[in-house]
Structure 1
């Protein structure tokens, strides 16, 4: 895999706006509340992070999520809109760290960090095949 450089992207931000559907509610995940489920909010923060680097990632490279260190601060009711923003803050070889924040119409609902790694798609799928 060709080395991809991301240092010049430090400070780059990407956002996405998303309306919470019933399928993404905590109720659909089994806890009975019509609010955005935490796993979905984390997933949205991953998508925002991927948007920051999407123009640099080409086959055979891909990025994979490694870690989340985020706090879900407040509930967002089903039907409301949430805006998720990721900012690339650090690059350590193939490991990328992003600050993530999500806000609904009332306040911040998530703050934290998300870490991704850039890997070779073919190697990754070979490892996956060996496990299945």
Structure 2
């Protein structure tokens, strides 16, 4: 598992703009949108190694967004597994557009039993009512 990589591609459309998401005023790739694509790259990579009934949840993200990407431009986000201990899996993540790197960081996910996790979450929602 360690050393495995995954890349996802996306286009910076309206729904990913800082001006649309409320994370800024400019028509550029929003930091939350870039982070979501990094997490998608990690999540889909880890899914390859899960047993039936398992899923993973994100638990930590530490990212720098270093360059703006304009509306309409294609970009990609990548994840590489760098450590795995017990149920925890750690990744390096990065994002690029045609001009070069736009962000990088680290991300952690924990493997969980999907049904049990959902059941605990549903119980929490019921307790809040």
Is the shorter-chain TM-score for this pair beyond 0.5, marking a shared fold?
yes
- CA contact 1:59–1:121 (8 Å) conserved in 2: no
Give the Cα separation in 1 of the matches to 2:93 and 2:29: 16
Q: What is the Cα deviation at residue 60 of structure 1?
A: 1.3
Task: Figure out how many residues of one structure are paired with residues of the other and give that number.
Answer: 124
> Residue deviations 1:45-70, cap 9 Å, x none?
01111222222224310000011011
Q: Give the structure 2 partner of residue 127 of structure 1.
A: 120
Q: Which runs of 5+ in 1 are unaligned?
A: 1-8
So what's the TM-score if we normalise by structure 1? 0.89
Give the Cα separation in 2 of the matches to 1:74 and 1:19: 16
Q: What is the Cα deviation at residue 78 of structure 1?
A: 1.1
Give the Cα separation in 1 of the matches to 2:30 and 2:51: 31
Q: Give the structure 2 partner of residue 87 of structure 1.
A: 80
Give the Cα separation in 2 of the matches to 1:19 and 1:46: 16
Q: Give the CA RMSD over aligned residues.
A: 1.0
> Residue deviations 1:62-119, cap 9 Å, x none?
0000110110111111110111110000001100000011011112111110100000
Tell me, yes or no, if structure 1 residue 114 matches structure 2 residue 107. yes
Give the Cα separation in 1 of the matches to 2:51 and 2:15: 31
User: Which runs of 4 or more aligned residues in structure 1 lie more than 2 Å from their structure 2 counterparts after TM superposition?
Assistant: none
Give the Cα separation in 2 of the matches to 1:122 and 1:54: 16
